[in-house]
Structure 1
């Protein structure tokens, strides 16, 4: 990482440095929250969690090579310096903000109700054609994850793509203050986290908090097909760049063909350019993600060839529309998370596969007072587009099964027991639910 001294770190978070004065100019090599990841030169974040208190591991981290600890209470036997703060979680945001300001590079902030991770990966694939690009790893997109992502940027980083996830008002403001995006990308304003955000207008208000701490001169890339985002005509005196399937957008698509496992082919259109691409993914919604990445690429000076090569280099990550073929059935492992918008998109993807289509769906969490109706409507949509079999598990998913005229099971264990009698050779099976439902166990059974 770039040179970052203990003195700078203490000053950035308003912490009290305790230790030898001569060591204040020591530079750190990494920032770690997991004591097992500490190495020579690390700064250790002592965080008190629900089950484990990082303060109990400070001395072990010193022995493993940590040069300093950020902590809320002094270690009993401080062998090395420590920085005392009121809140380690708040301090790491201030520290990350200071580290971010050492970089004069494009930073793309990505958010939205659906498609944050797949859009982030598409942006990374495209920008990597020109820049040494840093990106969010795994699900590090919250108030701890975003700072850790920033603090893991190597010294030679030329561009960064930062995924920013929120569930309440104010969170995006705090994330944007750390990331200070030079390009803001918003995918879709959907029905998620409605327990806190109320309705889609609330979701829009919370997501667009990103704009507040965007760098001066920042660009804004928004989904023009979204009825909420399309109403934004000006951000800080700047006209947004709109992307979407519809030709009204600055970046739009033609000749879209979904070939299942063969990918999605289309023309990406912008200005006088029409790029023929094959997106190596199964969902038609990936076309919008590719358009967002094309818009960012053009703003950052990439050539049309670099954009095409980047789109076609896209790779699916984790349990997100990952196709598994075990020789008898195809499994669409999309069980990382779920809300009505993302489930409907996944059902549309499922419909493109040959043979019998089976949707194995579970509870969608944090949908607020209308949660049962939203589940019912999602099930009704599956029936409307002709999904052959809908199986649902979980208390909320009973309404989904009712809407689909499908089969409902109280628990995923009961559903798993029933699968051998239901699934047939040649089926394509979509598995999707909120992460807390642990539907990855169903995927493992099907495999």
Structure 2
């Protein structure tokens, strides 16, 4: 991280400093909540977890050479510390101060589905021109986002920050830290309904991001999403009048054109640039051709021209990620050649549509997380396989009162894809298996239900065949990476 003194930190978090006054002008070399990473001149932020209280590691980190620590209670030793009421809040306050001082563009990304894959696409594109920092792993929450901001170094020119939420006001707190120059919303789907109620609630929570955008920010929306199209109608004019914000929808032209057109009330214009931009400044894709598990080819149209590109990660939904990335690239001054190169350079992330080819099997490792929309998208990818098609699906969490109905719908969708084998694992997935069974009479899909993951693992060698193409997907809490591991080591 760049320069930040203990005096600045104390002021930023509204704390009280205790220690040698001369240290207040000293600058910290980094900020961490992990005692193992608290090296020389670091600021340690002890977080109270469900099992461990970080305060217990304060003596250790000071011995390791940390410059200072935060604390929620007075310390008896002579170590320099800053007393705060909440270390978790102080972490965000300090990160907000640090972000405000940085001369760097920030791209903030959220949505119900595709946040991480869109983040990876945008970063891959921007890396063709800039030094980019991107959110690592799942560091997209109220702890992870501030820690990511602290990773921004002098050499970085753009930060691509993913923001994930599960309740109202979380996005307010995250965006207050990120202060995005470009806001990207991928879609409004059925996730975290336990807290957010319905898709209107999801939209309300996600769009809290806009309140903390920087002046002149661009807002890039999926123009094919009905709820995001409504955002353009309701908010675009007020954005423009307030600070010159540009609203940029992007669209797959094979979808219904009326939603994007209604966003500006201009019939036939599916992907306009709103307010202050040329009305023909549109981002859309056509000539979309599936290459099976090898990816997708499409032609992308932009205000700067058109280009044909091959997206190496399979799935029609990846076209949306490429469109979002293209819009961000144009906003930040990249050429079409740079954007095309960035799209084609994209590499899959483990657990996110990651294709693993073993000696015996092809495995689509998509087990990091799941909701109804992403489940169906992954099943679409699996359906393009030329070998026997197998889906191993597990419970989807945080779906609220309609969770069983939504699991049933995914099961029916899987059966409609005429898979060879569908394995449903988990308590909620019994409804998935039931939904598939009701439809499977119309095709030859074999359906197996397993109450637990261990039940499936005990049976895996008897139901999987050599050369199968296998999708593995469930919510992260199901820990389906164990299944991926077992499949990778399966012999015939």
Aligned counterparts of 1:176 and 1:325: Cα–Cα separation in 2: 39
- Alignment check: 8 A CA contact 1:55 1:75 kept: no
Partner of 2:160: 161
For the Cα contact (< 8 Å) 1:357–1:429, is it kept in 2? yes
Contact 1:59 1:75 in 2 (8 A): no
- Counterpart of 1:299 in structure 2 is 331
- Aligned-residue offset at 1:271: 2.8
1:226-245 mapped onto 2 (5 Å cutoff)? 226-233=225-232, 234-235=235-236, 236-237=239-240, 238-245=245-252
Deviations 1:53-112 (A, max 9, x none): 111111111111110001112333233x11010000000100000000111221000000
Task: Tell me the residue number matched to 2:440.
Answer: none
- Name whichever of 227-236 and 21-30 sits farther off: 227-236
Equivalents in 2 of 1:426, 1:194: separation in Å? 38
Give 2:356's aligned residue: 324
After TM superposition, the score normalised by the length of structure 1 is: 0.98
Q: Where does 1:91-240 land on structure 2 (aligned, <5 Å)?
A: 91-233=90-232, 234-235=235-236, 236-237=239-240, 238-240=245-247
In the alignment, which of 427, 443, 446 is matched to residue 468 of structure 2?
427
Question: Match of 1:21?
Answer: 21
d(CA) in 2 for partners of 1:252 and 1:379?
A: 32
Contact 2:111 2:187 in 1 (8 A): yes
- Alignment-derived partner of residue 444 in structure 1: 485
Instruction: Trace 1:273-284 onto structure 2 (pairs within 5 A).
Output: 273-284=305-316
Deviates more, 1:249-258 or 1:331-340: 249-258
Report the counterpart of residue 300 of structure 2 in structure 1.
268
Deviations 1:194-226 (A, max 9, x none): 000000110000000000000111100000111
User: Hey, what's the Cα distance between the residues in 2 that align with 1:193 and 1:83?
Assistant: 36
- CA shift for structure 1 position 328: 1.2
Name the counterpart of 1:77.
Answer: 77
SS at match of 2:101: coil
Aligned residue number for residue 4 of structure 1: 4
**CA–CA distance in structure 2, aligned partners of residues 31 and 6 of structure 1:** 12
Query: Which segment drifts farther, 260-269 or 83-92?
Result: 260-269
Partners of 2:65 and 2:385 in 1: CA distance: 53
Partner of 2:370 in structure 1? 338
Give the TM-score normalised by the residue count of structure 2. 0.89
* 1:279 shift after superposition: 1.3
Quick check: 2:216–2:246 contact (8 Å CA) kept in 1?
Answer: no
Does the residue aligned with 2:48 lie in a helix, a strand or coil? coil
Distance in 1, matches of 2:119 and 2:423, equals 31
One of 312, 324, 331 as aligned partner of 2:344: 312
Distance 1:272 1:13 in 2: 44
Cα distance in 2, alignment partners of residues 29 and 67 from structure 1: 9
Aligned with 2:414: secondary structure?
helix
Deviation at 1:239, TM superposition (A): 4.7
What is the CA–CA distance in structure 1 between the aligned matches of 2:229 and 2:195, rounded to whole Å? 24
User: For the Cα contact (< 8 Å) 2:45–2:71, is it kept in 1?
Assistant: yes
2:274 is aligned to none
User: Which deviates more, 59-68 or 274-283?
Assistant: 274-283
Structure 2 distance, partners of 1:139, 1:181, is 19
Pairwise CA distance, 1:363? 0.5
Contact 1:347 1:387 (C-alpha < 8 Å) held by counterparts: no
Counterpart contact for 1:58–1:75, Cα < 8 Å: no
For 2:75 and 2:290, how far apart are their aligned partners in 1? Answer: 58
- C-alpha offsets along residues 243-264 of structure 1, whole Å, 9 cap, x if unaligned? 1212622211122222234222
SS in 2 for 1:101: helix
Residue 387 of structure 1 corresponds to: 419
Counterpart selection for 1:398 from 430, 442, 457: 430
Q: Contact (CA 8 Å) 1:114, 1:187: kept in 2 or not?
A: yes
Alignment partner of 1:244: what SS? strand
Question: Partners in 1 of 2:291 and 2:458 — Cα distance?
Answer: 32
Compute the displacement of 1:320 (Å): 0.6
Matched, 1:257 2:289: yes
Runs of 4+ more than 6 Å apart:
none
Equivalent pair of 2:293/2:381 in contact (CA under 8 Å): no
